[in-house]
Structure 1
Amino acid sequence: MALLINDLCVNCDVCAPACPNAAISQGETIYEIAPSRCTECVGHFDVPQCIEVCPVECILVDPAHEESREQLLHKYCLLTGHAA
């Protein structure tokens, strides 16, 4: 699954630089995660880095974008050019 930033976001600016896939950007009012780029850090780290650095715990699994670990790894390979 991709991740989702909810409205508890305080725009602290720590999540975007922590994302290895550049999936996080400033939205109209809060930061947003692009599901097409979010791999939950599969291929990069053991845990999603945005969740690790978020001080208000506003980043959750997005039920609208369900993906298996294998699908996330495939997306990682497409984004980075690495072989699985």
Structure 2
Amino acid sequence: MAIMITDECINCGACEPECPNTAIYEGGMEWTWGGGTSLQEMVLDDGTVVNADEAQEPVSDEFYYIVTGKCTECMGFHEEPQCAAVCPVDCCVDDPDHRESEEELLGKKAKMHGE
């Protein structure tokens, strides 16, 4: 499953540089599918093709957030999600609405990083 940041976030920013997929963004900041990855384009679940450098709307305006589609729980990079490991208030938690198998997470990592 992906990781999410709860509304208990204190906006310290410790998590953002730890993400190997660049899936974590400051509240109010636009994000891209390609940022921190080798993606040139992203095919969404509905089949829509998006330029990976095209700016996307922020998921949260109030606190740091994780783009679910880019989160691999650090699978293939680290033993545990690094955002959760460094969060001083334990607000980086499993997202119960986005459960994925280890195989799915590793597939997502391979797609994003051209493996």
Q: Which runs of 5+ in 1 are unaligned?
A: none
TM-score (norm 2): 0.70
> In the alignment, does 2:94 pair up with 1:61?
yes
Identify the residue that residue 112 of structure 2 maps to in structure 1. 79
Q: What's the CA shift for 1:58?
A: 0.4
For residues 76 and 43 of structure 1, the distance between their equivalents in structure 2, rounded to whole angstroms, comes to 7
For residues 13 and 60 of structure 1, the distance between their equivalents in structure 2, rounded to whole angstroms, comes to 16
Letter in 1 for 2:112: L
Identify the residue that residue 8 of structure 1 maps to in structure 2. 8
Letter in 1 for 2:63: I
Q: Percent identity?
A: 49
For residues 95 and 15 of structure 2, the distance between their equivalents in structure 1, rounded to whole angstroms, comes to 16
Counting matched residue pairs gives 82
* Aligned counterparts, 1:43-62, within 5 A: 43-62=76-95
Q: What's the CA shift for 1:36?
A: 0.6
Bigger proportion of residues as helix:
1
> In the alignment, does 2:53 pair up with 1:20?
no
Q: What's the CA shift for 1:26?
A: 1.2
TM-score (norm 1): 0.95
Q: What's the CA shift for 1:81?
A: 1.0
Letter in 2 for 1:3: I
**Root-mean-square deviation (Å):** 0.6
Question: Runs of at least 4 residues of structure 1 off by over 6 A?
Answer: none
Question: Larger radius of gyration, structure 1 or 2?
Answer: 2
Deviations 1:31-65 (A, max 9, x none): 00001100000011110000111000001110111
